[in-house]
């Protein structure tokens, strides 16, 4: 038995035995029992967000659903921040059991970690100031200052495709990029459309807009430690259930409602949980 399988076994045993003690077998019986550590983003409203002691966003909803299918109650989840550049290391070091953090499945990442999913498909886009008419597509970034986050596919796409003509400011998180955009230090922020929509809505004060012309396909996977195929299979079964029982749609609508964001209907919800790579080809 690997580490997580042992923990899942212990969690199920704890719930069952407490249920038996209570004489009802009810799933509402709480146990402090074993914990599961899940890596999420803390600075992406609507996706992965920490405010005080509460955690919200679609990634968090997916994490809660998957954890429940694995036998863990909400109280048994330990949330750990998983910034873009640290995700592989967190998995490799065993600091987290899995990561749900707007984590695109890519060929490079698959060399060092494994993925369940995808559970969502986004696309890279641009966030600009609402009154800026000079940027209507990625091509207009020539000579402009662009903020992107270290360790993200977004940074790589920009480096590969626009690096010659754009000044890139690479920061450690999305909140920092938004501050730089509002203050005028940069002219645009780039990452996935679902993240930008949440940032504009929650942090933009009406001053920011998403262009709405995504130029990559980002398939979001759940990162697990390399070689843990059993966990991948279990998580995939949970994701399939989340889509088929309607929870996936309900949660996505709840998290993106009011942001003006419409997920790509052709790509969502994913129907094949085969860890298909993101398409890093820029489409403009």
Single out the segment in contact with ligand GLU by CB under 6 A; choices: 23-31, 98-106, 252-260, 263-271.
98-106
Q: Which residue(s) pair with 145 in the sheet?
A: 167
Q: Does 218 bind ligand GLU (CB under 6 A)?
A: yes
- Count of other CB atoms within 10 angstroms of residue 110: 15
By C-beta, is 154 or 259 nearer to ligand GLU?
A: 154
Structure tokens that stand for 59 in this block: 């990634």
Q: 34 to 93, contacts with ligand GLU by CB under 6 A?
A: 84
Please report whether residue 104 would count as binding ligand GLU according to CB under 6 A.
yes
Q: Could you write out the three-class secondary structure of 56-82?
A: ECHHHHHHHHHHHHCCCCHHHEEEEEC
Identity of the residue, 87 or 225, whose beta carbon is nearer to ligand GLU in the bound complex: 87
The reply to whether 222 sits near ligand GLU by the rule CB under 6 A is no
Size of the site for ligand GLU (CB under 6 A): 12
**Cα(147)–Cα(172) distance, rounded to whole angstroms?**
10
Quick one: which segment of 4-12, 17-25, 92-100, 146-154 binds ligand GLU (CB under 6 A)?
146-154
Determine, following the binding rule CB under 6 A, whether residue 149 of this chain makes contact with ligand GLU: yes
Q: Is 149 helix (H, G, I), strand (E, B) or coil?
A: strand
Which residue's CB comes closest to ligand GLU? 152
Residues in Cβ contact with 7 at an 8 Å cutoff, skipping those fewer than 6 apart: 34, 35, 36, 97
* 152 contacts ligand GLU (rule: CB under 6 A): yes
From 283, 259, 263, 275, select the one nearest 127 (Cα to Cα).
259
Among 73, 86, 161, 191, binds ligand GLU (CB under 6 A): 191
- Exactly one of 97, 192, 255, 280 binds ligand GLU (CB under 6 A); that residue is 192
Separation of CA 173 from chain center: 13
Q: For binding to ligand GLU (CB under 6 A), which residues are involved? A: 84, 101-104, 149, 152-154, 191-192, 218
């Amino acid at each position: 038995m690997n580490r997580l399988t042992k923990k899942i076994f212990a969690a199920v045993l704890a719930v069952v035995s407490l249920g038996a003690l209570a004489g009802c077998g009810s799933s509402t019986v709480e146990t402090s029992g074993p914990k599961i550590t899940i890596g999420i983003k803390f600075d992406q409203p609507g996706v992965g967000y920490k405010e005080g002691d509460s955690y919200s966003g679609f990634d968090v909803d997916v994490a809660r659903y998957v954890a429940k299918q694995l036998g863990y109650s909400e109280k048994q989840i330990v949330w750990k921040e998983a910034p873009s550049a640290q995700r592989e290391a967190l998995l490799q070091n065993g600091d987290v059991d899995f990561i749900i953090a707007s984590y695109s499945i890519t060929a490079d990442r698959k060399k060092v970690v494994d993925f369940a999913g995808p559970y969502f498909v986004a696309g890279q886009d641009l966030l600009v100031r609402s009154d800026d008419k000079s940027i209507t597509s990625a091509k207009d970034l020539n000579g402009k200052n662009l903020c992107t986050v270290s360790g993200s596919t977004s940074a790589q796409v920009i480096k590969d495709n626009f690096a010659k003509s754009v000044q890139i400011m690479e920061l450690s998180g999305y909140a920092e990029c938004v501050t730089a955009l509002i203050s005028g230090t940069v002219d645009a922020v780039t990452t996935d459309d679902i993240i930008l929509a949440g940032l504009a809505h929650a942090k933009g004060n009406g001053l920011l807009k998403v262009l709405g012309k995504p130029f990559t396909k980002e398939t979001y996977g759940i990162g697990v430690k390399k070689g843990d195929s059993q966990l991948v299979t279990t998580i995939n079964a949970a994701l399939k259930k989340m889509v088929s029982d309607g929870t996936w749609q309900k949660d996505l609508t709840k998290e993106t409602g009011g942001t003006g964001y419409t997920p790509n209907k052709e790509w969502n919800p994913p129907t094949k949980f085969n860890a298909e790579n993101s398409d890093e080809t820029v489409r403009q």
